[in-house]
């Protein structure tokens, strides 16, 4: 098995571990953030305060870092800036 294929399997296993640690709501927030949805919009969809969304994801990152240390590199720089939105292009 090539190194890149083995690395892909390790990443898939790590991602599976991470997803098992997240609540359904945290998964929804994470997916929406990946899509570029601002926290303000996510909060409105979930009918909570923006600070609640931020707090959920901070707790999720801490939980992941504690339970899946090999994911630490993935979590670096994952803090969301208020109103941050990814460019699409």
Per-residue pLDDT tens over the stretch 37-89: 999 999 999 999 999 999 999 999 999 989 988 877 776 655 544 444 444 44
Whole-prediction pTM value?
0.70
Within 10 Å of residue 10's Cβ, how many Cβ atoms?
11
- Asked if 58 and 9 count as a contact pair (C-beta separation under 8 A), the reply is no
* 3-75: CATH, from 1.10.3470, 1.20.120, 3.90.1070, 1.10.10: 1.10.10
Check whether 2 has a pLDDT greater than 70: no
Cα 63–chain centre separation: 11
Question: Residue 81: its pLDDT value, please?
Answer: 47
> Do residues 64 and 71 lie in contact, with contact meaning Cβ atoms separated by under 8 Å?
yes
Provide the pLDDT confidence category of residue 16 given band limits of 50, 70 and 90. confident
Residue bearing the bigger pLDDT, 10 or 36? 36
């Amino acid at each position: 098995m090539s190194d890149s294929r083995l690395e892909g399997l390790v990443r898939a296993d790590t991602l599976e571990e991470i997803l098992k640690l997240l609540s359904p709501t945290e998964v929804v927030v994470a997916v929406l953030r990946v899509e570029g949805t601002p926290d303000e919009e996510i909060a409105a969809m979930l009918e909570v305060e923006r600070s609640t969304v931020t707090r959920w994801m901070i707790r999720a990152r801490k939980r992941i870092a504690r339970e899946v240390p090999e994911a630490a590199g993935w979590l670096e720089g994952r803090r969301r800036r208020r109103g941050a939105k990814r460019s699409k292009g």
